[in-house]
Every structure is written in structure tokens, then in C-alpha cells.
Amino acid sequence: MHLNTEELVDIAEGTRAEASMPHLAACEPCRAQLRDLRAMLSAAQEVEVPEPSPLFWDHLSARVGQAVASEAADPARLIGSRSLSTWSWLFGARAFQASVAVAAVVLIAVALGTRTSAPPPLPAPASMSISDASVPAELLSDVATDDASLTLVASLTDQVDLETAREAGLAPRGSADHAVAHLSDSELRELGRLLKEELARSGA
């Protein structure tokens, strides 16, 4: 039985010993195929890629750098931004979720404060894992515990711990200034770019 293609390739490449195939010694067609394979392999290996100018490599790097820079200028195509919005990219996914939840607390609390009639001050619900310290007390002071809205707030925030809220720059120390002061250089650049974009859009 003649050698199959896999056996011939293995022998031609030297990964299988000729001696392991006794058929070869007795079969001229198989030996001829093996000779052809080796000859073509050798012919192909001799073909070299002409070395381009030494200046070419830096030129190629520069071209790639420019192409990547123009990609990076488009936030929708930035590395890591495909599944996240610009803002979630800016702050990180967990922190972004925390921001949304805490913002919801603040907004609902403010809304409740404007429509409830002087209820007694109450602590935050036990189900909330954000401590009082993470949300200004004055924002919670007018909130009634049996209000259905509060249940919604609690469900929005029960996965958010203080650490996460701090990451979002929304912890007690977390004024906007505090958050901005803790942005990295690349985040600051992106924030600046977004602000400029917003100003340009609003015609300011």
C-alpha cells in the first residue's frame, strides 16, 4: 500500500523517519513523490523577501501610528469602548453603574423632598448598602421609609457598596472637583475633548 499524503509530508519535512516506512524501499513511485516534495520544498525555501530600505520600518511604524491615532480620535472605536458608552469608558463599567444608581438616589430624593409634607427625619433604609456618609444627610432627611419610590432606590443601589461609589467619584469626598482631580492624564484628555465637543455642539 502506497504512502498517504500525511506520511509523505512528514518524511519530507523530517518529522518521520524513512526507516519507519519499509514500503518506501520497495516502491519507486512513492520514492519519486518524496523526491519531488523535497525538491519543491527546497526551491520554495530559497525564495527570500527583498529587504526594503532601512528607512522603511520607521515609515511603516509611523503610518500605523497615524492610522491608530485617527482611530483613537473616534471614541466609538477606541480599544475597550465597544460595549460601553463614552462615559462608562471614562469611569469604568462598575463605577458607571454606581454613578447611575447614586444619581437616581439623588434625583428621587430631591423629588420626594419637594412633594412630601415635613415627615420626621429618618435614617436610610437598612437594605441600602451605601452608608449615610455616602449620600448627604440633607438629601435623605425628608424621605419616608414606606414610600414605594424608596424601594426602587434601594433595589437600584443594593449592589453598590461604598468602594464602588468611591470609584465613581461620588463618595462623600466625591465632589466633581474631587473626581476630576483623580482622573488620569488620558481620562482628562478625553474629558476635555468631550467638553469641547459639547461646547461646539451647543454653539458656545
Partner 1 sequence: MAGTFPGSWPTADTAPPAAPRPMPAADDRPLDQLDEPGLVGACLAQRAGAFDLIVERHRRAVYQLCYRFVGNHEDASDLSQDVFLRAYRGLRSFRGQSTLATWLYRIGVNVCLNRVSAKTTLGKLTEPIEEKQFVDARAESPSELMLKDERAARVRAAIAQLPRKQRATLILRTYHEMSHQEIADALGSSVGAVKANFFHALGNLKKLLAEG
Nearest approach, Cβ of 91 to partner 1 (angstroms)?
Answer: 8
Burial 140-150 (b: 16+ CB within 10 A, else e): bebbeeeeeeb
Burial 87-97 (b: 16+ CB within 10 A, else e): ebbbbbeebbb
Nearest approach, Cβ of 28 to partner 1 (angstroms)?
Answer: 17
Of residues 173, 152, 147, the one with CA closest to residue 162: 173
Q: Angle between the 148-157 and 93-115 helix axes, to the nearest 10 degrees?
A: 170
- Is there binding between residue 187 and partner 1 (CB under 8 A)? yes
Of residues 83, 81, 66, 99, the one with CA closest to residue 187: 81
**Pick 93 or 195: Cβ nearer partner 1:** 93
DSSP 120: P
For the segment 8-27, give every residue that binds partner 1 (CB under 8 A). Answer: 8-10, 12
- Is there binding between residue 1 and partner 1 (CB under 8 A)? no
Out of 1, 14, 29, 46, which residue is the one contacting partner 1 (CB under 8 A)?
46
Nearest approach, Cβ of 59 to partner 1 (angstroms)?
Answer: 8
Query: Dihedrals φ, ψ of 75, to 5°?
Result: -60, -30
DSSP 98: H
Tell me how far the alpha carbon of residue 169 is from its chain's centroid: 20
For the segment 71-110, give every residue that binds partner 1 (CB under 8 A). Answer: 71, 77, 79-80, 82-83, 91-93
**Pick 40 or 111: Cβ nearer partner 1:** 40
- Quick note: the x/- pattern for partner 1 over 131-170, rule CB under 8 A, is ----------------------------------------
**Pick 28 or 51: Cβ nearer partner 1:** 51
Out of 43, 118, 176, 204, which residue is the one contacting partner 1 (CB under 8 A)?
43
- Residues whose CB falls within 8 Å of the CB of residue 10, separated by 6 or more in sequence, listed in order: 16
Tell me how far the alpha carbon of residue 32 is from its chain's centroid: 56
Site residues (vs partner 1, CB under 8 A): 5-6, 8-10, 12, 36-37, 39-41, 43-54, 56-57, 60-61, 63-65, 67-68, 71, 77, 79-80, 82-83, 91-93, 184, 186-187
